[in-house]
Chain A
Amino acid sequence: MKRLLALIHREYWENKGAFRTTPLVIGGIYIAFLLMSIFTTAHIDSDLYTFKEAVRVMGEQSPDFRGRIMYNGMLGSSVLFTLVMSVVIFFYLLGALYDDRKDRSILFWKSLPASDTLTIASKLLAAMVLVPLSFLAIMILTHVIMSIIGSLMVMGVDGNPWTLFISVFNPFKAWGMIAASWLAQSVWALPLGLARSR
């Protein structure tokens, strides 16, 4: 178990850019777009009139309706994460067994007492568990930051973010749904991964 964890850790170190930096960049893009829209609105909109109206109209809807909007918004914002993640996993698996051979470092890895089965298991687990977890954690972080910014905006026009859009739905349901769909995806793709490792 210790060896397997060490090998997975090694996959993380080797692919830090793809596994960690890439989702951070996506999260950054979402936040940047949010801030940009706020600043543009603030610049054009006198006294944030349109924004106030939007908050008012939103407040008039039923909590159930607002909850559905939030829930679908979260699922929608996961699309970019999902798409990029599948590209990351595809290229990771494409190179996972080949790169060590290309730079001949396989001769070092094979000098360690870790069996080939364990090594392949570590790469498969990195693709199926480590990458989705990393993307999920950073996506959740992005959602939280965006909600904080949104809340500050609502509070700025004397609204109550808690009753307006936070308490109306359960974000864990959305995150759980996204995580479950990712896991289902990787299980569906598992035969492809195993076929490649032959």
Chain B
Amino acid sequence: MTSIISAKGLTKRYGRMVAVDHIDLDIPPGRIVGLIGPNGAGKTSALKAILGLATFDGELQVLGKNPSRDRAALMEDVCFIADVAVLPRWIRVWQLIDVTEQIHAGFSRDKCMEYLAHTKITPDHKVKQLSKGMVPQLHLALVMAIDARLLVLDEPTLGLDILYRKQFYTSLLNDYFDEQRTILITTHQVEEVEHILTDLIFIQDGKIALEATMDEVEQRYVELLVKPEMAERARSLKPLYERELFGRHIFLYLNADREQLSSMGELHTPSVADLFVATMKGGKS
């Protein structure tokens, strides 16, 4: 299978500042990839390059096309939701559906109406009349009705309440995702996406800090929960990261001997959020 996104030495500079620093990427079809990094790590710059919204240096192919040259052609097979509220505020829902249908060959009006039937949105609503949670619902209904091969979501649920967020990811997973499609998500709300991701990419200071499938993460990383008296011994085994919670010490190890560890305390698979914190702190020292 050919890759959906492949980058070699992808670099984005703003004047002297390097936002994305020689990144290599290879994302095959049928994955849900989480691109996770702190603010200013270069996530948005990388996404902009992938979506043809900005120029870049280095090699980058999305679905075999050069995004900055063939953006219009690329958008036949790529959809993106860049932020929560980018739908034009003056437009009515039916106008939005009309214009998308005319411009997008792969758009199915029936599917879109079907998704909208589950919401309180009606065709006569103006976008500015919709509540904050309904706008992403509408955007998602539009995007899910497009037969695209790559869907890029940049902070799609920022500022929404937990009900809308859960529903957003549930419909994405149940009604949209399949082996042909690839989804690339950036978000700060790591806890909510970690169960749906198949691949993880951490990005820090414009460089990739970690790139692995979720299975690999599970195999490589382990978290150990020990009582304070065992802390010294656990520390001697060179953990990546240490923290304290309710008087217990928690250590994160990479490629450690699990049998040796399990004799000291409880073993867990680390959450993506903990792994993220550990990786970012580790990278700094």
Q: Which residues of A have CB within 8 Å of B105?
A: 113
Q: Mark A1-17, 1 if CB is under 8 A from B, else 0.
A: 01101110110011000
- In the complex, A115 has a CB within 8 A of chain B: yes
Q: Which residues of A have CB within 8 Å of B139?
A: 108
Q: Is the CB of A113 within 8 A of B87?
A: no
Q: Is the CB of B89 within 8 A of A115?
A: no
Q: Is the CB of B103 within 8 A of A114?
A: yes
The B70-91 residues at the A interface (CB cut-off 8 A) are 71-76, 78-83, 85-91
Q: Mark A109-132, 1 if CB is under 8 A from B, else 0.
A: 111111110100000000000000
State the CA gap A103–B89 with chains docked (Å). 8
Interface segment, B92-100, B168-176, B227-235? B92-100
Partner of A104 from B52, B74, B86 at Cβ < 8 Å: B86
Q: Which residues of A have CB within 8 Å of B52?
A: 110
Q: Is the CB of A105 within 8 A of B102?
A: no
Q: Which residues of B have CB within 8 Å of A7?
A: 99, 103
For the A-B complex, the count of residue pairs with Cβ-Cβ distances under 8 Å equals 78
Q: Is the CB of B103 within 8 A of A112?
A: yes
CB distance from B127 to the nearest CB of A (A): 9
Q: Is the CB of A111 within 8 A of B99?
A: no
Q: Is the CB of B86 within 8 A of A105?
A: yes
Residue in A6, A10, A105, A107 whose Cβ sees the most chain B Cβ within 10 Å = A107
State the CA gap A9–B96 with chains docked (Å). 11
- In the complex, B220 has a CB within 8 A of chain A: no
Partner of B91 from A2, A6, A14 at Cβ < 8 Å: A14
Q: Is the CB of B83 within 8 A of A104?
A: yes
Q: Is the CB of B100 within 8 A of A112?
A: yes
Q: Which residues of B have CB within 8 Å of A9?
A: 98-99, 102
State the CA gap A109–B98 with chains docked (Å). 13
Q: Which residues of A have CB within 8 Å of B166?
A: none
Q: Is the CB of B100 within 8 A of A100?
A: no
Q: Which residues of B have CB within 8 Å of A3?
A: 102-103
Interface size on A, residues (CB 8 A): 25
State the CA gap A14–B81 with chains docked (Å). 21
Partner of B102 from A5, A13, A104, A118 at Cβ < 8 Å: A5
- In the complex, B53 has a CB within 8 A of chain A: yes
Q: Which residues of A have CB within 8 Å of B111?
A: none
Q: Is the CB of B53 within 8 A of A110?
A: yes
CB distance from A21 to the nearest CB of B (A): 14
State the CA gap A114–B103 with chains docked (Å). 7
Which residue of chain B has its CB nearest to the CB of A13?
A: B95
State the CA gap A111–B51 with chains docked (Å). 8
State the CA gap A46–B223 with chains docked (Å). 103
State the CA gap A105–B139 with chains docked (Å). 12
Q: Is the CB of A100 within 8 A of B72?
A: no
- In the complex, B104 has a CB within 8 A of chain A: yes
Q: Is the CB of A105 within 8 A of B82?
A: no
State the CA gap A114–B71 with chains docked (Å). 8
Q: Is the CB of B103 within 8 A of A103?
A: no
Q: Is the CB of B90 within 8 A of A14?
A: yes
Q: Is the CB of A103 within 8 A of B88?
A: yes
Partner of A100 from B81, B88, B98 at Cβ < 8 Å: B88
Q: Is the CB of A107 within 8 A of B72?
A: no
Q: Which residues of A have CB within 8 Å of B90?
A: 13-14
Q: Which residues of B have CB within 8 Å of A6?
A: 98-99, 102-103
Q: Is the CB of B99 within 8 A of A105?
A: no
Q: Is the CB of B75 within 8 A of A113?
A: yes
Q: Which residues of B have CB within 8 Å of A5?
A: 102
Q: Which residues of A have CB within 8 Å of B89?
A: 103, 105
Which residue of chain B has its CB nearest to the CB of A113?
A: B75
Which residue of chain A has its CB nearest to the CB of B105?
A: A113
Which residue of chain B has its CB nearest to the CB of A14?
A: B90
The B18-62 residues at the A interface (CB cut-off 8 A) are 51-53
Partner of B88 from A2, A108, A114, A118 at Cβ < 8 Å: A108
Which residue of chain A has its CB nearest to the CB of B79?
A: A111
Q: Which residues of B have CB within 8 Å of A115?
A: 71-72
Q: Is the CB of B104 within 8 A of A113?
A: yes
Chain B contact residues, CB within 8 Å of chain A: 51-53, 71-76, 78-83, 85-92, 95, 98-100, 102-105, 139
Chain A contact residues, CB within 8 Å of chain B: 2-3, 5-7, 9-10, 13-14, 100, 103-116, 118
Closest 5 CB pairs of A and B: A6-B102, A115-B72, A113-B75, A105-B88, A107-B86
User: What are 6 A-B residue pairs whose CB atoms fall within 8 Å in the complex?
Assistant: A6-B102, A10-B99, A14-B91, A103-B88, A107-B83, A111-B80
